[in-house]
Every structure is written in structure tokens, then in C-alpha cells.
Amino acid sequence: MVAALNWGLGHASRCIPLVRILLDLDQEVVIASDGNALQLLRSNFPDLEYLELPELNVRYSSKSGAVLGIIAQLPKLSSYIRKEHNALQEFLNDHAIDLIISDNRYGIYSENIPSVIITHQLKVKLPLAGTLATEMIKARVKYFDECWVPDNDQHSLSAELSSRTLPITKLSIGSLSQFQHIEKKFSMQKKDELLAILSGPEPSRTIFEEKIIEQAEKHKIQTLIVRGTKSERLSSNNEYVSFKGQLASEELFELIQQYQKIICRSGFSSIMDLSCMEKKALLVPTPGQSEQTYLATYHRDRQNFYSVKEKDLNLKNDLAIAYNGTYQPKNSCLDFSLQKDLIGNRLELLSQKAPSLL
């Protein structure tokens, strides 16, 4: 079983290459998730079996941000972890699962089945409650047998977020980009227009979308917005803006190849995807999400990507800086065959607890 958190699309998108590796290793895969994340995984793997998990539906105001929002919803988060754990137990009553791989879903584990947690969020960057949240993660991680970090041993993409010790086995498995399995055929025709790739929790996603629409019209920038959601809005009265809904990996990859300029959030999975393609972009962290702010600053300081706060966004000026030649991401993707061998070796070790894995 591969389970993905439904918080934006990053956790689901980085499960795509993992599922492909497992299928390539002749494993049978069941996918567990909910909401937009489940829809994305279904669009990429329509023939697999699925378990729909309880929805979390965490929302927070861009004014109070993630800090106060998450603290206020801790009781809800604890209840949600219990609910998804109960849903898993019911599923296991009727299905033979040999290994669980959970991307940031802390209720998807079993005492009787080898369980792996995938996360880069081992040190929480919160100004008020970072230490508390970090210790809470450490307490939840101990229910799993291993922790797989989707980065290299040098923590090139996640930096301090993943560089702490754990009470369980911790392994760097290399970055997981939804594009790493796609042959890199670069389009000869590059559109001198803007591609905006949007996802993340509401209402922040919609607020960001409206700001891009407003500035695209103001600066007369032709913009295609990939909304990252299955909602109905795919048209606009704005002559400079067009829309696409949620896309499968190959479709999104093709679009990214075609466009010269890209704007998106500074989520970790977006950074993995862009780095894998060595594609420049303007990054705008979600207001209140201190992890995205940290990653945006870290990669700007290393001249990988230019970034700007949402409230300070000037689309025309910031795109000019992002594409002035100063910023260039570095490809940190592990070779597919090496990553496949690495994960295959972990399956062999975990099979000592579940012999049917072999």
C-alpha cells in the first residue's frame, strides 16, 4: 500500500515515481488517499486498486497563517489520524497487505505489517511552536519501521528540514519527481508566455490565483493557469488568462517544456520537479507556511530559484529577475536504476518481517 497525504498535490505527485518503481519491481500496489490527491493518483494509475481515506480538510487564513491555524486544529488532526488508522484496519481485515508506505499520513501504519513513513519534514520551521511540532513528529514516527527521506545524503533540496536523527532507521532515497521517468524530449518551440502551476490548501490557493489573474491583466502577460483541482472554473473574462484543470504527469511535463516562464509555490515537491528538469521558475511561498518560506529563501540564497513574498509580487519585475541568468536549479535526481536498486534492497530487508514481499 502506498498512501499519500492530501495537502496540496505535492505528496501525491512524489508518490507517482515511487509507485512506478514498485510496479517495475513486480509488486502489486494499492493506493490510499483522498480528495484531489486521490484524483491525481487515479489519473496516473487508473487500473490500480484504491482505498479512499477520511478527508482532513484543514483550512487556514492567510492572515493567521499555518502556525495558529494548525495549533488551533491539533485536536482535529489527532482525531483525523485515529480515523484514518481505523479505516486502514478495516481494509486490512479483508485484504492481504505485506508492506505499507505512507507519505506523511501518520495514521497509516500497522503493528503487524512493516510500515515506512516518507517525509522530509523532520524539523518543523514554525516561529512559535517549531520545537513542539518537531517533537510531535518524532513521537509519531516511532510507530513506523523506517523513515525514507526523498532527498540525497547532503540534503541538497530540503536542507535543515530533514537533517535530524530519529529513533528508527532513516534512509535518504533520492528526490522523487513525478517527471523523472519521462524521457526528456525538449520542445523546440518555447512560448514566451507564463505558466502558473497552482495547488495547496484553500483559501490560499484561490487568493494566489486571483492575484495572478489581476497582475496578468495589469502587465498584459499571457498566462495559462493550471489549477491543480477538478473544479469547474476553466474560463475567464480576462483576455490574458486561460485555464486548465488537474493534469496527469505527462501532460504537465509537456506544458512545462513548452513555456519559458513559470510561477508556482515553493513547496518541496515543486522544487523537486523543477530541479529534476533543471527548469527555472519564480517561487512564491504560501503566506503563513513557514516551511515554504524557508525553502524559498534557502534556494534563492544558493541562486537556484528567485523567490518573492506574495504581498510583494510584481509579476513583470519579478519574472525579469527570475530569468536574468543569475538563477539556475541543479539536477539532484538519483539515476532511476540506482533508485530502483536502493528501494528494491529495502524491500528485501523489510521482507524479513513479511516474507510474502519476495
Grid cell of 124 as nine digits: 518543523
Grid cell of 355 as nine digits: 516474507
Grid cell of 325 as nine digits: 541568468
**Alpha carbon distances (Å) from 292 to 165, 270, 300, 329:** 22, 11, 12, 17
- For residue 203, whether the previous peptide bond is cis, meaning omega lies within 30 degrees of 0, is yes
Determine the Cα angle at 228 with ends 293 and 297, to 5°: 15
Grid cell of 115 as nine digits: 510500515
Alpha helix (H) residue ranges in the chain: 10-24, 35-44, 65-72, 74-94, 130-141, 204-219, 249-258, 268-277, 290-301, 315-322, 336-350
Q: How deeply is 124 buried, as exposed, middle or buried, from its count of CB atoms within 10 A (0-12, 13-18, 19+)?
A: buried
Task: List, as one string, the DSSP characters of 120-155.
Answer: S-SS---TTTHHHHHHHHHHHHTTSSEEEESS-TT-
Domains annotated for the chain, with CATH where assigned, are 2-178+335-357 (3.40.50.2000), 191-322 (3.40.50.2000)
How much is the pLDDT for 201? 81
Q: What is the pLDDT of residues 159-175, one digit of tens each?
A: 999 988 899 999 999 99
Task: List, as one string, the DSSP characters of 322-333.
Answer: HTSSS------P
Contact 158, 151 (CB under 8 A): yes
The percent helix, strand, coil of the chain (3-state, each to 5) is 40, 15, 45
Q: Which pLDDT tens digits describe the chain residue by residue (358 residues)?
A: 999 999 888 999 999 999 999 999 999 999 999 999 999 999 999 999 999 999 876 555 544 445 555 555 556 778 889 999 999 999 999 999 999 999 999 999 999 999 999 999 888 776 665 677 677 788 899 999 999 999 999 999 999 999 888 999 999 999 999 998 887 665 556 677 999 999 888 889 999 999 999 999 999 999 999 997 766 556 667 789 999 988 888 999 999 999 999 999 999 999 999 999 999 999 999 998 889 999 999 999 999 999 999 999 999 999 999 999 999 998 877 788 899 999 999 999 998 876 565 5
How much is the pLDDT for 80? 87
Nearest-angstrom CA–CA distance, 282 and 239: 23
What is Dmax (Cα atoms) for the chain? Answer: 62
Name which of 80, 79, 59 is nearest 69 in CA terms.
Answer: 59
Grid cell of 168 as nine digits: 528508527
Residue 59 CB coordination number (10 Å)? 11
In sequence order, what are the residues at sequence separation of 6 or more whose Cβ sits closer than 8 angstroms to the Cβ of residue 228?
Answer: 8, 9, 36, 197, 198, 199, 200, 205, 246
Nearest-angstrom CA–CA distance, 122 and 108: 17
